[in-house]
Structure 1
Amino acid sequence: MKTLITTTILLLALFVTSYAQKSNRPVEVLMIGTSHSYGKKPVEKFDSIINKAYAFRPDAVFGEWLSGDDYDAIPDYWNKATIEKRLAYLKSRPYVDATEADKQIRESYKLLRKHPNFHQVRMKLARALYLKRDFGNAAYQLYRLDRARPAFGDEEKTAYLTILGVPDSLYRNRTNEYHNILFPLIDKLDQDKILPMDSQRHDVAWSEAWGKADSLVRIWEKGLDSTSVDGKRYSALQKRTRELEAAGNKAAQAGMATVAFNSPEGDEYLNIVNFYGARRMFGAAGFPEAALNEMLRQWQFRNDDMAHNVVNRARAAGAKRVVVGVGANHRKIMVDILRTIPGVTVYEFNSYDGK
């Protein structure tokens, strides 16, 4: 009995030590703030972005996707109804799914690593991933099919319609950061997955706070005397916003929008236009400070979740270096949060020197 107790204690100690080491494992993060739409005819220099991220040699790439578990845990959020319609459409296709989806997914990944042109295997994998609510990885597989689709023969066209439905029913956004930066980066790295890090569990409260702040700011604007001290402050803020917008537009026209998004000026512009000046107009008579503070508090909650998801999931996956692609409005706040987490080193895209 004494031997059994001693052995149990030793095993428990080893487990605790192993868990502690894993949970404190150093993680290096390259943060890239991106646009969700680079336009139908983008001039952005995507290759330079991809090459810089590739030089970081990440073990994994994160995107602004919900995990399947996180999606299932949320009763509602801004995109839930749309996703549910797509799931229903997919289930309506005249295709019989495998009885063991997890096994099918594992075997499909293995097969595609050897035979990337087995397009029907990829179609079935994309479907299985989507039905498991692994939307990021389903989108990556659909991206690969989208690139291959122009060369499909009649058999593959018919299979696509049967398994996935009408082309563009599930994959239609070719202007975003995934199609143009993150998915090509995954290809270049010879990886085949994107990790999820988004959080939408605060979305209902966030939407309510945002709506209230928007309404109150609009009312405040209508009653503002432009000749008053507060009116002049607001005019100066609007002037600064126009200057920042003009600089951003100039950068975008030169194919440097992502560089602009990852600059202090880009952070300033997005903070002003997305949060009604944030706290820059605090102190002005009648300005709805409480509503703005609540809006910013809800925004903090989401970004706290996202930053910790990156670190926790990177450590769980054994990834030491990761690239995080995220809408540019999240960039600065996530960088700040990540820098408070022990064991995490953050590199910002513009200042990263490629080492």
Structure 2
Amino acid sequence: MNTLKVITSFCFAIIFSASTSAQEKIQILVLGTSHYNEEKDSLEYKEVIDKLTDFNPDMVMGEFVSPQEYVSLEPDSYRRKVNDSTFYYYQHLNAAVKPNKKKMEKAAARLVAFPNLHRSRIDLAVQLLNSYDLGNAKYQIYVLEKLKKVHFNKEEAAAYKTMLGGTEKLVQHNLYQNTSEYNAIIFPLMYRLNISGIYPADCQVYDTKWTQAWRIVAYCMHFINRIAEMDDTSEEAKIVKKIRDEKNRIYSESDSLGLYGYRYLNSSFNAEESDLVNFYGGEKLFDFSKNYPEKEVREMIKYWQLRNEGMAANILKQAREKKVKRVLVAAGSAHQKWIVDILEEQPDVVVIGYNDL
């Protein structure tokens, strides 16, 4: 009898240890998003927000680069070309504002406790823009525009116009976009859960090399498509048909399973389609035709893989440093499977699928 008790206790200890170990792992949900979210689908976005609320993340990350990485990027990189004019405009509009990271973190936390301190939120948005923190600036601007602006007094309205230029300027500088996944899903979720800020997950250090590789393939495919139009018996026509057939197969199979919207964006079918489109056929065309630019496509894939490895590294570093339990990462759906495949190799991570919620 004593022996049985010892064995039972030992087995229980093993089970308890395994359970504890599983609980200590970081749960990470990578939400594949659309960068264009129409108002007509608002009911679906509400469903997505409700599901993510149940997941209850204690850290949210987005497809933004850190301020430190941003200022180190080459001036002709995509991110710099898109955002430099915005930062330049607001930094000159508010040249006297000197941001302080610790003070900004305290201000963001205070606004969670006291969300109607409108002037403090305006000041924080300006400081974030002056420190190249695009993701958190957009979050504070979302809250101001969507939820707080209607409650401004005269002084707050004047400060908003003077310091941020008002709604028209914010839209012009892409700081307020109703159709973005952040305004449609991520920022409403953060406000609901009292999450004070968003962390940067993107990696753009390979952007110029990626762009060069993409341009070469795009140039090749332009002529492949032209030749295919002129001669439907050519190797080029076979390439174009193969890509079209693969797309139709993906759509047919996913439709038969009723996968639409964000359920589709977070499925293996979307991962297939994204690779097919982004890489002009990609691996499905390797060894298919001697006229397919396989070598050049492989170069594209190399830099795409490096970017996603960089994103996964950013996610893991910040999650481990903050010692959080549940992380939500919002990334364009073309990144979703690439990042997940990397994260699943980590022994301290459990990947949660959106379609499993």
Q: TM-score with structure 2 length normalisation?
A: 0.83
- Partners of 2:206 and 2:225 lie apart in 1 by 28
Query: Please, which moves more after superposition, 298-307 or 318-327?
Result: 318-327
Give 1:245 deviation, angstroms. Answer: 5.2
* Aligned equivalent of 1:7: none
* Aligned equivalent of 1:4: none
Give 1:163 deviation, angstroms. Answer: 1.6
- Summarize the Cα distance change of 1:193–1:263 in structure 2 as closer, same or farther, 3 Å threshold: same
Give 1:149 deviation, angstroms. Answer: 1.6
For 2:232, which of 226, 229, 250 is the aligned residue? 226
* Aligned equivalent of 1:239: 245
Is the partner of 1:325 in helix, strand or coil? strand
- Summarize the Cα distance change of 1:212–1:232 in structure 2 as closer, same or farther, 3 Å threshold: closer
* Aligned equivalent of 1:21: none
- Partners of 2:65 and 2:190 lie apart in 1 by 18
* Aligned equivalent of 2:78: 78
Give 1:40 deviation, angstroms. Answer: 4.8
Quick one: which amino acid aligns to residue 156 of structure 1?
E
Decide whether the 8 Å contact of 2:29 with 2:352 is kept in 1.
yes
Deviations 1:127-172 (A, max 9, x none): 1111111111111111110112233343222110112123243323
Task: Please provide the CA RMSD for this pair.
Answer: 2.5
Decide whether the 8 Å contact of 2:25 with 2:349 is kept in 1.
yes
* Aligned equivalent of 1:339: 344
Give 1:42 deviation, angstroms. Answer: 3.4
Deviations 1:297-319 (A, max 9, x none): 01001000001110111101111
Give 1:41 deviation, angstroms. Answer: 3.9
Within-5 A mapping of 1:103-182:
103-147=102-146, 148-170=148-170, 171-182=175-186
Stretches of 4+ moved more than 6 A in 1? 246-251
* Aligned equivalent of 2:48: 49
How high is the sequence identity, in percent, across the aligned residues? 31
Q: Which structure has the highest helix share of the two?
A: 2
- 1:198 and 2:202 are equivalent in the alignment: yes
- Partners of 1:32 and 1:260 lie apart in 2 by 11
- Summarize the Cα distance change of 1:44–1:279 in structure 2 as closer, same or farther, 3 Å threshold: farther
Deviations 1:8-30 (A, max 9, x none): xxxxxxxxxxxxxxxxx732111
* Aligned equivalent of 1:293: 298
* Aligned equivalent of 2:4: none
Query: Please, which moves more after superposition, 195-204 or 26-35?
Result: 26-35
- Summarize the Cα distance change of 1:90–1:66 in structure 2 as closer, same or farther, 3 Å threshold: same
- Summarize the Cα distance change of 1:154–1:295 in structure 2 as closer, same or farther, 3 Å threshold: same
Within-5 A mapping of 1:197-346:
197-224=201-228, 225-227=231-233, 231-232=237-238, 234-242=240-248, 244=250, 256-283=260-287, 284-346=289-351
Alignment coverage as a number of residue pairs: 325
Where structure 2 has 5 or more consecutive residues not aligned to the other structure, the ranges are 1-23
Quick one: which amino acid aligns to residue 191 of structure 1?
I
Quick one: which amino acid aligns to residue 71 of structure 2?
D
- Partners of 1:168 and 1:243 lie apart in 2 by 44
Is the partner of 1:96 in helix, strand or coil? coil
Is the partner of 1:173 in helix, strand or coil? coil
* Aligned equivalent of 2:353: 348
Quick one: which amino acid aligns to residue 86 of structure 1?
T
- Partners of 1:51 and 1:216 lie apart in 2 by 45
Deviations 1:256-297 (A, max 9, x none): 411111112222222211210112122202111110000010
* Aligned equivalent of 1:62: 61
- Partners of 1:263 and 1:160 lie apart in 2 by 42
Is the partner of 2:179 in helix, strand or coil? coil
* Aligned equivalent of 1:187: 191
- Summarize the Cα distance change of 1:157–1:299 in structure 2 as closer, same or farther, 3 Å threshold: same
Give 1:228 deviation, angstroms. Answer: 5.5
- Partners of 2:329 and 2:316 lie apart in 1 by 11
Quick one: which amino acid aligns to residue 339 of structure 1?
E
Q: TM-score with structure 1 length normalisation?
A: 0.84
- Partners of 2:79 and 2:58 lie apart in 1 by 30
Deviations 1:58-82 (A, max 9, x none): 2201110111111122123213133
- Summarize the Cα distance change of 1:316–1:119 in structure 2 as closer, same or farther, 3 Å threshold: same
- Summarize the Cα distance change of 1:310–1:100 in structure 2 as closer, same or farther, 3 Å threshold: closer
Decide whether the 8 Å contact of 1:61 with 1:195 is kept in 2.
yes
- Summarize the Cα distance change of 1:316–1:167 in structure 2 as closer, same or farther, 3 Å threshold: same
